[in-house]
Structure 1
Amino acid sequence: MADPKAHLNGKRILAVDDEADILETIEDILDMADVEVARDYASASEKIRTGRYDLAILDIMGVNGLALLDEAVAKGIPTVMLTAHAVNPDTLMSSIRKGAISYLPKETLAELDDLLEELLAAQAAGKPPWKLLFDRLGGYFDERFGPDWKAKDKNFWSDFSRTWEVGRGIQERLKHDKRIIDKGI
């Protein structure tokens, strides 16, 4: 029987949040992985610069998560944004533009292992993790932001929907992927 958490087992994950209880919950939920934590921007930035991680999970508020996202993407670390206070269309779009592989509301924390497993499996199979996110949580975003929340930025969302696999965020990650850089692409 296949391991149900095969894409998370043994992974080195950096979790960054200014709330200790959130970090403890992440560590408990992701007990099949090697989770390191940071509670502030400076220590998280240092860990990103000096460590090797298979995944980063970043809060947005309180730790300057969008700046950390830039740093993680530059190091080729797949990054998931996890937030409560910054759940809004603008930070969602910023996360996409900056190269995050997903954007999860903290309300989904209890499902974090399942969501990450699916996202990492999709990414490993060459499937767009953002499509999976919207398939799973599109109703949540519609309820939270209103049914026509994409209308304000319809050109962005139209382009994004057409180019799941070649979005700017993916292009940004590819610029830092040593497997591609080494090939001269």
Structure 2
Amino acid sequence: MTAESNHLSGKGILAGKRILAVDDENDILETIVDILDMAEVDTARDYDSASAKIRTGRYDLAILDIMGVDGLTLLDEAVAMGIPTVMLTAHAVNPETLMASIRKGAISYLPKETLIDLDDLLEALLGAQAAGKPPWKLLFDRLGGYFDERFGPDWKAKDETFWSDFSRNWQVGRGIQARLKNDPRVRDIGV
């Protein structure tokens, strides 16, 4: 069954998932709710309400804007609660926030220009994660050209050590370690 037929039949990875979407722009939240109609999407428009929902809700995924809602701080909170998190941004699309998202444990970083493909990207990312494959590798396979065009062809050269280390350690990167450290299933067995 293809990803498209899974989506149409409601049998994709996202079907029935509880997702928290956080953005200060209501039209972005409405778009996310519409695109992810196979899931149960809860929304928040500011840091305080999003933080409260992260602490008290049970979510399978969080989608966080970086600007306007203090998304990188929310990322820390979501990772601490074991919630896989995708960063979604327009104004903060730059190598620094991309690297910060990786370091803090996000499973992906998506420009808002890719919002139209959000369901397909999330299905692929979560599918890769569920199969034990690194979602970041999938992201760079799919959107590497976008980042090269947006940041310039040699954008990784400025932080060559980071990217070299990251490329060698797709599966055990700092972000994954941060999520594992906060995952009670792993922490409780002393790993």
TM-score for both structures, normalised by structure 2: 0.95
Indicate yes or no: 2:118 matched with 1:116.
no
Q: Which whole-Å CA distance do the structure 1 matches of 2:157 and 2:148 have between them?
A: 12
**How far 1:182 sits from its partner (Å)?**
2.2
1:70 to 68, 72, 76: 76
Give the match's secondary structure for 1:150.
helix
1:4 aligned partner: 6
Indicate yes or no: 2:183 matched with 1:181.
no
2:141 aligned partner: 135
Q: Which whole-Å CA distance do the structure 1 matches of 2:114 and 2:14 have between them?
A: 17
Give the match's secondary structure for 2:155.
coil
Report how many aligned residue pairs link the two structures. Answer: 185
**How far 1:181 sits from its partner (Å)?**
1.6
2:161 aligned partner: 155
2:85 aligned partner: 79
2:105 aligned partner: 99
**How far 1:98 sits from its partner (Å)?**
0.2
Q: Which whole-Å CA distance do the structure 2 matches of 1:135 and 1:4 have between them?
A: 22
- CA deviations 1:81-104 (Å, max 9, x no partner) are 000000000000000000000000
Q: Which whole-Å CA distance do the structure 1 matches of 2:180 and 2:16 have between them?
A: 24
Give the match's secondary structure for 1:100.
coil
| Paired-residue identity, % | 82
Q: Which whole-Å CA distance do the structure 2 matches of 1:140 and 1:15 have between them?
A: 23
TM-score for both structures, normalised by structure 1: 0.98
- CA deviations 1:99-153 (Å, max 9, x no partner) are 0000000000000000000000000000000000000000000000000000000
Q: Which whole-Å CA distance do the structure 1 matches of 2:190 and 2:74 have between them?
A: 27
What is the RMSD of the two structures over their aligned residues, measured on CA atoms? 0.9
2:176 to 163, 167, 170: 170
- CA deviations 1:43-70 (Å, max 9, x no partner) are 0000000000000000000000000000
Q: Which whole-Å CA distance do the structure 1 matches of 2:155 and 2:187 have between them?
A: 37
2:26 aligned partner: 20
